[in-house]
Amino acid sequence: MTRADILNAAEQCVNGSRDDEYGNPEDNFQTIARFWTAYLGNRHTTIIGPEDVAAMMVLMKIARISNGAPKADNWVDLAGYAACGGEIESNRAE
């Protein structure tokens, strides 16, 4: 896959039919953030936000890349999570 292929595939993931299946990423990441914050309970004093979810999902993909066989899908997902996180953070700054 070329850089363009990876970015195009990531764009399809974050702007395609997944919204119909899972809802928009911002709402989904906010829900995940609430679940992770509740799960961590007293072990973690910082409230996790949707931008943290995006960053931690990027880290998960990096862990998979570093520990597994080469798989283009990990790079596509990493780019998609990064794009979602960047948009979430940009919208908060406005």
pLDDT of 45 reads: 78
pLDDT of 6 reads: 92
Question: For 44-75, how does the pLDDT look when each residue is reduced to its tens digit (9 = 90+)?
Answer: 778 899 999 999 999 999 999 998 877 899 99
pLDDT over 70 percentage in the chain: 100
Q: Which residue has the higher pLDDT, 17 or 81?
A: 81
pLDDT of 66 reads: 92
pLDDT band with cut points at 50, 70 and 90 for residue 88: very high
pLDDT of 39 reads: 87
Q: List, in sequence order, the alpha helices (H) in 1-94.
A: 3-15, 18-22, 25-40, 50-67, 72-93
3-class SS at 25?
helix
pTM of the model: 0.81
| Rounded CA separation 88/71 (Å) | 27
Quick one: CA torsion of 70, 60, 78, 13, rounded to 10 degrees?
Answer: 100
